[in-house]
Structure formats: structure tokens, C-alpha cells
Structure 1
Amino acid sequence: MSDPTANEDQDAMADEWAAMMEGDDEDDDLDMSAAMGVEPGSNRVLDQTEIDSLLGFDGDDDGAHDTTGVMALVNSAMVSYERLPMLEVVFDRLVRMMSTSLRNFTSDNVEVSLDQITSIRFGDYLNSIPLPAMLSVFKAEEWDNFGLMVVDSAMIYSIVDVLLGGRRGTAAMRIEGRPYTTIERNLVERMVHVVLSDLSAAFDPLSPVTFRFERLETNPRFATIVRHGNAAMLAKLRIDMEDRGGRLELLIPYATLEPVRELLLQMFMGEKFGRDSIWENHLANELWQTDVQLSAVLDEVTCSLADVLNWKVGSHLPLTTGPGGMVELRCGDSPMFRGRMGRRKGNIAVRVEQELIEQPDEVEG
């Protein structure tokens, strides 16, 4: 038979332990809530604004999502165009040259302006192209890679209207929902050739390159030139012809710019990295005035270790070089010259007759 009193004591002890455990859990919850900044006992739920801020999709600022939240992690491998200062110089030249060449091409008053230069992933850009549009694929011959030029619908109809004699003061007529005609494609292709010629000339002071027109596409799927995840540089140009005009966008993958990356990193034209010509010239002049000690080696004899150990004071070491033999001049361990020994003005001298300095071509060979 069990003792009722003992059972009651055990139950009371179990209830006490349970109460102590619950108290510890509550203390831990309070500590965790305090660390997270959440009031105890409340189930905190993030609202839409906080979720957008966390993910980096803040609608108030168009560029905020590039540097905050998850998008900052996604785009952490992107190369900012600001790290390539010479790109702005190249596109400034392009804008000035296009203004002149397009005036000659259209016989109209043309103003070209650069809206912005940004970095973007190629796949994201293809998905953001407003259709209909014409996508021109061009190749950089010397760099052996491709680029993309996009002409929007407004620019296409404006060029067609101007080149075919449309009256000034009237906006270009836009007819949507039909494919572009052969005439429209040919006129746009002529304009693309003009822009590519100016782009080649804009890069000439930096690095000679020829941009060659490849093909004209209207479907972005057929204008893929790199993988969708690859980073690219996007330049948006605005072309105004009085009350007509449109946009022209140049997209050049960073893989295409890689051969001239060191040149694009310059802060100004002709900048040299890690070199100072003044100190180079000073060092070269000082080297010519440096004193160098030469050793004249009369002869070399090979002896066994036993013979060397048997040497005593007065031992003779025969040399095979005669009075008219050749003597080798060395600087340290490097042979420099070979000549004949004699006397000149009471001093022992060596007349150089053969040069032993190895030339760089001979070393590589």
C-alpha cells in the first residue's frame, strides 16, 4: 500500500518544477523580445512598407532598390560604370559627333543629349525593352565581341518621316500593330551605320576600333549576344528634331570592353599607371655614372679535394694561360668581356676584344 501523504508531496514537487520551467521560458522569451525590439506578448508582423524596404523595392526612389536590401546582394558582382571614368569622355565625344552627322544625314536641326549611363544585366534589359522597336546587333572587330543598339518606335517613325520629306511642325504618324516595312528597315539601317561610324570615331583617341553592323532584329529573343546574367553598360541617348524625335540606347557588355578596360580606368586621357617618366630618366642617368668593379680571371684550374688538402706553403699551382692568352673580365659571376692582358702607362691593363654580354633576344631563344 502506498502512503497518500508521500504521493501528495511528489505531486506538489512536480508542480513546483513545472512552474519553475515555465518561468524560465517566459524569461527567455522576454529577453529575446527585448533583443529584437518587439514588445513582450505581441506577435509583430511586418507591414508592406517594411517588406519593400527589406527587399529593396522602395517605390519613392527609383534607384534605391539598386543599393538596398536583397537587390544589393544580387547586384554585388555588378561592375559600376563609375569605375570606368573614360566612358563618360567617350560618350561626350559621341554626342557631339552625332549632333553633326545626324544633321548632315537628315538635313534637319538635330539635338542629341545623353540621358544617363547605367550598369544592368543583359537579361533584365531585354525584358525591359518597350516594343515595337528595332534592335541592331553590331560587332567590335578589334575586340572580337558584340554590342546592341536599340531604336525605339518614336525614333523610327521620326527618321522615316524626316527622310521621306515629311512636313515640319507636324508630329510623325505612328501606326502600331503591324511589322516594319522594308523601306523603314532600310532607312533605320542607314542611320545605324551613321551612329556606328561616330561610335568608332569616339573610341579612336582611346583605342582604334571598328564597329560593324551585323543584323537588324525586331524580336529581343533573336538579339541575344551574351548570357542573360552578364553585366553590361547601357547608355541612353535622346534625339530631338524640333517636334519629332525619340530614344536610342547603346548596350555594350563588359566582356566587350574587357580588352580596353585598363584604358577606361584612366581618370584622363594618356594617364599612366605605376610609372613616372621623370624618375625613370633620373634613374637611367644615375646608372650610367655608377662604379662597377670588374675582376680579371687569368685562368681556371680544376683540382681534386685531395690535392687541395695537400697544398702547403710554397706549393705551385700551374696556369695554362700564356703571356698573350685571353683574359676574361667578370662583374660578380657574370662574364662581361674577353681580352688580352698587357701594360699601359706602367699599369697592368686588359684590351677588350670580345663582348660576352648576352642580348635579350639571345636569352629568350
Structure 2
Amino acid sequence: MAGDIDQDALAAEWGMALEEQGASGGDGDQAWETVGEDGMAHVNAGSKGGAERILNQEEIDNLLGFSIEDLALSDNGGIRAIIDSAMVAYERLPMLDIVFDRLVRLLTTSLRNFTSDNVEVSLDRIHAVRFADYLNSIPLPAILSIFKAEEWDNFGIATVDSSLIYSIIDVLLGGRRGVTAIRVEGRPYTTIEMGLVKRMIELILADAEAAFRPISPVNFKIDRLETNPRFAAISRPNNAAILVRFLIDMEERGGSIEMLLPYATLEPIRDRLMQTFVGEKLGRDTVWEGHLSTEIFQARTHVEAVL
């Protein structure tokens, strides 16, 4: 009997506790409903007020964490890396480094004799570019010399920037040493200026012939001089090319010379340029194979048969 009373009392206590909890929960739910209604009212008010406001590009960049312009200018972009992957693999021509190192030494001596001044030539960089990208990157004014490699039956471009043009002209016409050359813009180059620059380019091409001679005899002949890159189209826009940049320093004066050789121009000697040293043979030597075959067929030998 006592057990039944205790159980009834315990059940009554649990019932009262549940009723109190339900009452407090109802108040809480009502409070949450009030807060929700107020919050939605604020959200609706904010959305109505902010519907007319548009984020500018700077705020979008801050939200994204990067700038679209920086991404476009990045050389390591994913799409750009995929597009240029074949070109990067194709540019590994070890002998070109040796050729252009030899050209630097030859140019240093030749330009010193040409200008009768202290000239220092250095190789800035060698890299692969697309032809259209290079034409769009040429700083104007400049003189572009289109030359032909006669033995390879194709063309190249030698570009002389404005600073070097006026520095060379100033030196050849008796300018004082240590004075920065004046850069004249807004007018075309005169006949005298074009003639002096042409003489310098002929000197550069002659040294380039000597630099390539151990690999392949070639004659570089100037085809024409241009001042507008649009008239210097020697290859298709998307074709790859090797771009070599030389820095010329003449006692606080100077500039740069760029030589562009499309891969189509270098294709006749591509196998030789892939060698790591002059005279290296990749694979079987067909010359010796033919020579040995001929000598074996022409050889005479005495044979005795013992029966």
C-alpha cells in the first residue's frame, strides 16, 4: 500500500515538472517567435535598403581575396600553363645557350671597334614566346630589322630599342662620354639614323653567323627595316619563337637588342641544337653506317675450302 502511494506521489511530481517545463517552453517559443519576426523585419528592411547598392570591383576583389587583373597578369595561371606547356617542353635546346654566349663575346669586341668606346654586352635572358605576344610587347619607338637565314630559308627579327638607337648615334657622331642620350619621340627616324642603325645591325648579324658556324653555316641578310611591328609579320600569331635579349652598356648610355627566331627558322638544325655539346651524336650514325657497308661490300678476302 505504501509502495503504491510513493509511486503515485512520484508520478504527480513528474507531472507537475512537465507542466512547468511546458509553460516555460511556451514562453520561450513565444520569445523566439518575437525575435524571429523582428529579425525578419530587420532583414527585409536591410534587403529593401540594400537592393539599390552594387559592390564595386575593389570590394569584389576584397571579398574574393584576389584581383582579376593580377590573375590575368600572372604567368602561372592554370589555363596559361596548359596553353604554354608544349612550348615550354619544346624550348629545351642546349646548344642555343652556347651559341648566344659566343655571340656575346663576339659582339663585345665588334661594338668596341665599331664605336671606339668602352662597350659591355651581356645576355639578359633566353625564353620562348608566342609571336603575336612579342609584337604586342615591343616598346615604341623602335627599329625592327627583318633578316633572312638563307640556308634555313626562313626569317628572324632583330629589334633595337630607342635608347640604344640614340646612344649609338650620339657616340658615332661625337657625343660626349658620360652624358645620357636624349630620347626623341613624336617623329620618324631620319635617313642618317636609319643608315647608322643598319650598319650596327649588319655587324650584329655577321657576329651571329660566326656564332652559329660551328653548328651550321648560315648567312643572315637584312631584308628590310620597319618601325611598325604590324609590318614585321614573319610568322603566324600563335607560333612559338625563341627570344634573346642582349643588354648594351656604354658608360651610362646604352639599351637593348632583341633577336627573335621562330622555331620554324631553327627547325633545319633542331637536332644539332638539342645536343649538349658540339659533335654529339644522338642514336645511330648513318654516315658511318653507310661507309662501313660500302667498305665491307668492296672488301676482298681469300677463302680456302678443305675437302
Aligned CA RMSD, in angstroms, stands at: 2.9
- Unmatched 5+ stretches in structure 2: 1-61, 298-302
Amino acid at match of 2:220: F
Aligned equivalent of 2:110, options 101, 107, 118: 101
Residues 91 and 128 in structure 2, CA contact (< 8 A), matched pair in contact too: no
Residue of structure 2 equivalent to 1:193? 202
Q: Deviation at 1:80?
A: 4.6
Distance 1:126 1:100 in 2: 30
Residue of structure 1 equivalent to 2:280? 271
Structure 2 vs 1, CA of residues 85 and 166 (structure 1 numbering), >3 Å: closer, same or farther? same
Structure 1 segment 238-277 matched on structure 2, within 5 A: 238-275=247-284
- Structure 1 residue matching 2:258: 3-state secondary structure: strand
Residue of structure 1 equivalent to 2:146? 137
Aligned equivalent of 1:165, options 151, 160, 174: 174
Residue of structure 2 equivalent to 1:153? 162
Distance 1:98 1:255 in 2: 25
Residues 80 and 118 in structure 1, CA contact (< 8 A), matched pair in contact too: no
| TM-score computed with the length of structure 2 as normaliser | 0.71
Structure 2 vs 1, CA of residues 50 and 132 (structure 1 numbering), >3 Å: closer, same or farther? closer
Structure 2 vs 1, CA of residues 48 and 251 (structure 1 numbering), >3 Å: closer, same or farther? farther
1:207 aligns with 2:224: no
Distance 2:90 2:143 in 1: 25
1:47 aligns with 2:56: no
Residue of structure 2 equivalent to 1:122? 131
Q: Deviation at 1:76?
A: 2.5
Q: Deviation at 1:46?
A: 7.2
CA deviation profile, 1:136-171 (whole Å, cap 9, x unmatched): 000000000000000000000001001111111211
Q: Deviation at 1:201?
A: 0.5
CA deviation profile, 1:239-265 (whole Å, cap 9, x unmatched): 001111000000000000000000000
Amino acid at match of 2:163: A
Residue of structure 2 equivalent to 1:184? 193
Residues 136 and 214 in structure 1, CA contact (< 8 A), matched pair in contact too: yes
| TM-score computed with the length of structure 1 as normaliser | 0.60
Distance 1:129 1:121 in 2: 13
Residues 148 and 155 in structure 2, CA contact (< 8 A), matched pair in contact too: yes
Distance 2:189 2:90 in 1: 34
Residues 142 and 209 in structure 1, CA contact (< 8 A), matched pair in contact too: yes
Q: Deviation at 1:276?
A: 8.1
Residues 143 and 256 in structure 1, CA contact (< 8 A), matched pair in contact too: yes
1:219 aligns with 2:228: yes
Residue of structure 2 equivalent to 1:233? 242
Amino acid at match of 1:256: T
Structure 1 segment 274-353 matched on structure 2, within 5 A: 274-275=283-284
Distance 1:87 1:247 in 2: 19
Q: Report which structure shows greater RCO (CA 8 Å, sep ≥6).
A: 2
Structure number with the higher strand fraction is 1
Distance 1:105 1:142 in 2: 27
Structure 2 vs 1, CA of residues 56 and 175 (structure 1 numbering), >3 Å: closer, same or farther? closer
Misfit runs of 4+, over 4 Å: 50-53, 79-82
Residues 79 and 231 in structure 1, CA contact (< 8 A), matched pair in contact too: no
Residues 115 and 237 in structure 1, CA contact (< 8 A), matched pair in contact too: yes
Amino acid at match of 1:169: G
Deviates more, 1:77-86 or 1:123-132: 77-86
- Structure 1 residue matching 2:257: 3-state secondary structure: strand
- % same residue: 63
Residues 128 and 242 in structure 2, CA contact (< 8 A), matched pair in contact too: yes
CA deviation profile, 1:5-55 (whole Å, cap 9, x unmatched): xxxxxxxxxxxxxxxxxxxxxxxxxxxxxxxxxxxxxxxx971528678x5
Q: Deviation at 1:56?
A: 6.7
